[in-house]
Amino acid sequence: MASSKSIPEIVQDLWDLLVAYARQETIDPLRNIGRYLLFGVGGMIVITIGVFMFGLSALRALQTQTGDVFVGFWSWVPYLIVAVVLGGLVTLAISRIGRGGVGAHAPGPLPGEKK
């Protein structure tokens, strides 16, 4: 037997359902994006500092461990070498950036599964 609710109860239930749906579809995804951005920015900062330190150590190694190769007129070459290597790393990183948003990973079909 169906329960008989009054119209104000039905309206209140409908309002509660609408609020829960709006929260599920707006606030929860925004929280997930915030977490995604937090870890992304934190990782970016750590990797940037690490690559910068690697560049400085490579430059210092080229300046001190190569003997008399890069002295006088050739003293600018270690800077060029490090700049080219770091530029290559930046180019590699940019080439790996793909289109898509948060959770936009679309895996292919499983083995033995039809498309």
pLDDT at 100: 66
- The pLDDT, as a whole number, for residue 111 is 67
| CA 98/CA 104 separation, integer angstroms | 10
* pTM for this predicted structure: 0.61
Determine the pLDDT at residue 83.
97
**pLDDT, tens digit, for every residue of 24-69?**
888 888 888 888 899 999 999 999 999 999 999 999 999 999 989 9
Predicted pLDDT of residue 113? 63
Could you tell me the CA-to-CA distances from 80 to 59, 62, 86, 88, 93 in Å, in that order? 9, 11, 10, 12, 20
- Give CA–CA dist 58/44, Å, rounded: 21
Looking at residue 28, its pLDDT comes to: 80
- pLDDT tens-place string over residues 100-115: 665 555 556 666 666 5
> Are the beta carbons of 82 and 62 closer than 8 angstroms?
yes
C-alpha to C-alpha distances, 75 to 71, 87, 103, nearest whole angstrom: 5, 20, 48
Taking only the tens place, the pLDDT of each residue in 57-102 is 999 999 999 989 999 999 999 999 999 999 999 999 899 988 766 5
Q: How many CB atoms lie within 10 A of CB 79?
A: 13
